[in-house]
Amino acid sequence: MQQVNYGYLLGGLLTLILGSAIAHEEGFLREARNLLIEPAFCLMLLLGVWSLKGEKKWYIAGGIIVGTAIIFSTINMFWDVYALRLLNMGIVLAFCLASTGIASRNLLQVGQVDVNKIIGAICVYLLLGVTWAFFISSSTSLCQAHSRVCPPQI
């Protein structure tokens, strides 16, 4: 069984979580944050989590998903299309859930508990939290966009 080092994934997760919070506090535009932080998050998950599968076909499939999300995010920055934003949010949410599943499956393999497995458990916990935060943020954004597109009928 290969030894997986979760330290890099933990460092990347903490950097992106703190970077996102700093970008929000400094007042970066939502589009700029989505164009920079969302692709960086997806690429970090691709390199840190999807490489755990060990098969090249899964790594390539994850790369295609990340590439699609980046393309949709870039297009959506220039043309604010509700359906495209919904599709992009669904792709990124599915990618986050799949990444959490891959990391937890790799973590729960039979073996002795060591510091690396504890760091891996922290990474899975952070991935669950980031996925939940992304889901809440996406649903709030979609509700606000829907209320602008389809105002309530009185």
CB 35 within 8 A of CB 74: yes
CA distance 85 to 145: 10
Domain assignment of residue 2, yes or no? no
φ, ψ of residue 84 to 5 degrees: the values are -70, -40
10-residue averages of pLDDT along the chain (154 residues): 71 82 74 68 72 71 80 78 78 82 82 86 90 81 65 57
CB 65 within 8 A of CB 39: no
pLDDT of residue 122: 92
Reading phi first (left if > 0) and then psi (alpha if -120 to 50, else beta), residue 62 is in alpha
pLDDT of residue 62: 77
Domain assignment of residue 115, yes or no? yes
pLDDT of residue 29: 61
pLDDT of residue 125: 92
Domain assignment of residue 139, yes or no? yes
- Candidates 85, 92, 76; CA nearest to 41 is 92
Domain assignment of residue 84, yes or no? yes
pLDDT of residue 66: 80
pLDDT of residue 23: 75
φ, ψ of residue 120 to 5 degrees: the values are -65, -40
Number of structural domains, the chain?
A: 1
pLDDT of residue 34: 64
Domain assignment of residue 151, yes or no? no
pLDDT of residue 152: 57
Domain range for 83: 7-146
